Amino acid sequence: MKIAVVEGDGIGKEVIPVAVKVLEHYVPDAEYLEVEVGYGKWEKTGRGCDEGDIETMREADAVIFGAITTPPDPNYKSVMLKIRHDLGLYANIRPVRGNGFKITVVRENSEGLYSGIEDIGSERSTTLRVVTREASERIAVCACDILKRDFEGGTLTIGNKANVMKSDVLFRDTCMKVAESMGIPYRTAYIDSLTFDALQNPGRYDVIVTTNMFGDILSDALGHVAGGLGMLPSANIGADNSLFEPVHGSAPDIAGRGIANPVAAIRSAGMLLEHVAGIGCEQEIEMAISGAVSSGAGTPDLGGNSGTELFGKEILKRLEKR
């Protein structure tokens, strides 16, 4: 198995080495291909990512990805959007675990407000919000499959803003049709009140499917009931490729201090192992994380005083004992 490793910038360089140790524990024979993309590369070469990097990621069986810092360049095009586009990663799956609940946010990852179709001027700037039936169907099927697999007896929530944006009528109605045809119970909800309710009553939700930017914002907001941004992993899935990354960014405010929480990156590694190698390690990894946290080995964001490395070692030690 070949795994492309992109540490990226900031705390990506601190949390990804811990995630790689978890990968090495489960698949010791895997080959790791290091790829440099991001702000660091842009400073050196004027480009955040080149075609060779994309090729390496494409050839690998999966990518583990840290985070990249957006360079202060008005003409800079998002490297993350390019990677998701070039690798065809249409589904962004973001599980949120908290006290007695699990919600999986399934975010459409290829269009919506992150279409990249923009016309930027000094007086008027526009970004085109694109919703297609094809992409809406594809993401709805993905969300229904996850509900069937992981949430027996659960309900699909279709997050939208069809009351204001007519482009969301197509999204909402397409999701409803898919859920009906797959026999999945569903409800629809406006994304603003849905976000408030999910924060108040997370236990009411199972799988939430929504468009690109709403899913981005909703999943960060849910970090509030999941112990913080350092806890949220994600999978970017396509027909031929997959990339696994924390939901958080490069956190320049704490980068370089060795205190970033590696859990999001470790959980992302767990999702990689499950998706690409069929290794059902989720429970084991969760036990190791909660064991390490209860022993007091958490990072400062979790109320502990360990650094990234020590917390990572405590988690790994527990995995190795099992």
- Kindly list the residues in this chain that would bind ligand NAI in the complex (CB under 6 A): 11, 15, 67-70, 80, 229-230, 245, 248-254, 260-261, 264, 301
At 131, which amino acid appears? Answer: V
Start-end of H helices in the chain: 12-26, 39-45, 51-59, 79-86, 133-150, 167-181, 191-200, 212-222, 263-277, 282-294, 308-321
Choose among Mg ion, ligand NAI, none what residue 250 binds, the Cβ cut-off being 5 to 8 Å by kind. ligand NAI
Between 48 and 154, whose beta carbon lies closer to ligand NAI?
48
Work out how close the CB of 114 gets to ligand NAI at its nearest, in angstroms, rounded to a whole number.
12
Work out how close the CB of 234 gets to ligand NAI at its nearest, in angstroms, rounded to a whole number.
9
Q: Is 100 left (phi over 0), alpha (psi -120 to 50) or beta?
A: left
At 151, which amino acid appears? Answer: F
Choose among ligand NAI, Mg ion, none what residue 216 binds, the Cβ cut-off being 5 to 8 Å by kind. Mg ion
Structure tokens at 167: 């482009």
Between 14 and 168, whose beta carbon lies closer to ligand NAI?
14
First to last CA, the chain: 23
Residues that bind Mg ion in the complex, under the rule CB under 5 A: 216
Between 29 and 253, whose beta carbon lies closer to ligand NAI?
253
Between 165 and 217, whose beta carbon lies closer to ligand NAI?
217
Between 165 and 217, whose beta carbon lies closer to Mg ion?
217
Report the C-alpha dihedral over residues 226, 148, 25, 34, rounded to 10 degrees. -80
Work out how close the CB of 203 gets to ligand NAI at its nearest, in angstroms, rounded to a whole number.
25
Alpha carbons 238 and 235: distance in angstroms, whole number: 10
Closest CA to 27 of 77, 64, 59: 64
Helix axes 282-294, 308-321, angle to 10 degrees: 130
Work out how close the CB of 76 gets to ligand NAI at its nearest, in angstroms, rounded to a whole number.
10
Residue nearest to ligand NAI (CB): 249
Work out how close the CB of 39 gets to Mg ion at its nearest, in angstroms, rounded to a whole number.
16
Choose among ligand NAI, Mg ion, none what residue 22 binds, the Cβ cut-off being 5 to 8 Å by kind. none
